[in-house]
Structure 1
Amino acid sequence: MSKIASAVALMKEHKYEEAARLFNDYIEENPADPLGFINFGNLLLHLGDMDHAKSFFEKALSLDEKSATAYYGLGNLYYELEDYPKSQQNFLHAIKNGLEEADVFFMLGMSHQNQQQFKLALPYLLRAKELSPEDEEVLFQYGLALAQSELLGDAKEVFHTVLNINSEHCDALYNLGVISLFEEDVIKALEYFNQALENEPTHVLAANGKRIAEEALNSKETGM
């Protein structure tokens, strides 16, 4: 096993100091290879050392200006810093330079989502869904972007797909409840909110949705 692979395995075991030593050894032995800098940058990012992580990613790009994974690392760094325009820019560079994985499209979509650019998020979240069709978080965020773009029929279909994967997904249930309220199907909305609360009794949004649905039902019954 190479030093890079060994260090990555150590990271997965939370043995960060040992992983750092191996990455450092690899860099000293291969100072012109951006791979060592990218992986060390990922470790530093994971540990929250943003300044040093940024330096390592930028060093990797100085060695290879077309390194897609270095751009991806910088994108994640800026995303963590909530600098979404910069994260978006770096994820785009990663894709332009050949990175074709669900994660980069998902993170680019989420960068748009966090800027309230719901319709701009859609094509990237759709591509992430195409690449990772069983990932419930990807599916949920795609459904949410559809709902926020007022494409409620499409959103409803995606949220049901999420529930096919995880029948206890409280946020999918909650959002189906909200869509049912928009469709004026108050009884169905109440069912979804109750299901969400059965799975997660502290789900504040579902509790609020349930209150609204119950008030709407009471108004109908009293003729008010």
Structure 2
Amino acid sequence: MDHIKSGIEALQKQDLEEAAKHFNIAIEENPNDPVGYVNFGNLLMRMNELEKAERFFQRAIELDEKAATAYYGLGSMYYTGEMYEKSIQQLMEAVKLGLDEGDVHYLLGMSLQQTGQEKLALPYLQRAAELEDRDAAIVFQYGLALANAGEVDTAQRVLLDLLEWSPNHSDALYNIGVAYLYQQQFEKALAYMDKALEAQPDHEMAMHGKAQIELIMEQIENEE
């Protein structure tokens, strides 16, 4: 029996006890194989046992210093624990070792953002969006990063593309409205604030944005 495969299948079914049984057997049968330790670490992360998970990931790296998924596991664990500097260090190593997956680049980009390194974060978020172009959370964060970097037009295009397959994404709708406001296209800005509120009636920023735009439009009308 392939206990790693069976453990992963159990983990996907949320059967944590069964997953633990299979991963434990895999480690007992192959104590020098880092794969079992990585998967047990992932299981412990799912159980929020972060300190124990860290030990399993580190053991995997002791067995194979080029085990990219172990560095990713550590980086993901540190990100969950809001230890962003440590997260960056581990995720960078995973990328250097060739792990080219959307979640790796996404967590690295978000970690860099959390440490105030927005410009460095942008290419990683871009790569994440390329690899996971139907993951609304990832594509939205890439669009937001573009906007924060001053690339408003590009950000707007990314978010408009997102709406093609996620039309009720209220934060995307709101930020497109903000982009139109920045471009002084007030009617379009107002329309997108309304759409954001249709998608999420309690969206406070959209409420505030709508009120702001309506005030600007009223002032323009009075000046005329």
Q: Which amino acid aligns with 1:175?
A: N
- Taking the TM superposition and a 5 Å limit, the aligned residue runs for 1:37-186 are 37-186=37-186
Instruction: Write out per-residue CA displacement over residues 29-72 of structure 1, whole angstroms, 9 at most, x where no aligned residue.
Output: 11101111100000101111010000000011110111000000
Aligned to 1:197: 197
TM-score (norm 2): 0.96
> CA shift at 1:98, angstroms?
1.7
Q: Which amino acid aligns with 1:50?
A: L
Aligned to 1:206: 206
SS in 1 for 2:193: helix
CA distance in 1, matches of 2:200, 2:115: 28
CA distance in 2, matches of 1:15, 1:128: 29
SS in 1 for 2:133: coil
CA distance in 2, matches of 1:137, 1:99: 21
CA distance in 2, matches of 1:96, 1:22: 30
1:220 matches 2:220: yes
1:5 matches 2:5: yes
Gaps of 5+ in 1: none
> CA shift at 1:135, angstroms?
2.6
Instruction: Write out per-residue CA displacement over residues 59-118 of structure 1, whole angstroms, 9 at most, x where no aligned residue.
Output: 111101110000000000110011111111111100111211122111111111222322
Q: Which amino acid aligns with 1:214?
A: E
> CA shift at 1:14, angstroms?
1.2
Q: Which amino acid aligns with 2:135?
A: D
Q: Which amino acid aligns with 2:183?
A: E
TM-score (norm 1): 0.96
Instruction: Write out per-residue CA displacement over residues 171-214 of structure 1, whole angstroms, 9 at most, x where no aligned residue.
Output: 11110111111111221111101001001111111111111111
Aligned to 1:36: 36
CA distance in 1, matches of 2:37, 2:7: 13
CA distance in 2, matches of 1:113, 1:159: 19
Percentage of matched positions with identical amino acids: 47
> CA shift at 1:221, angstroms?
2.5
Aligned to 1:188: 188
> CA shift at 1:134, angstroms?
2.8
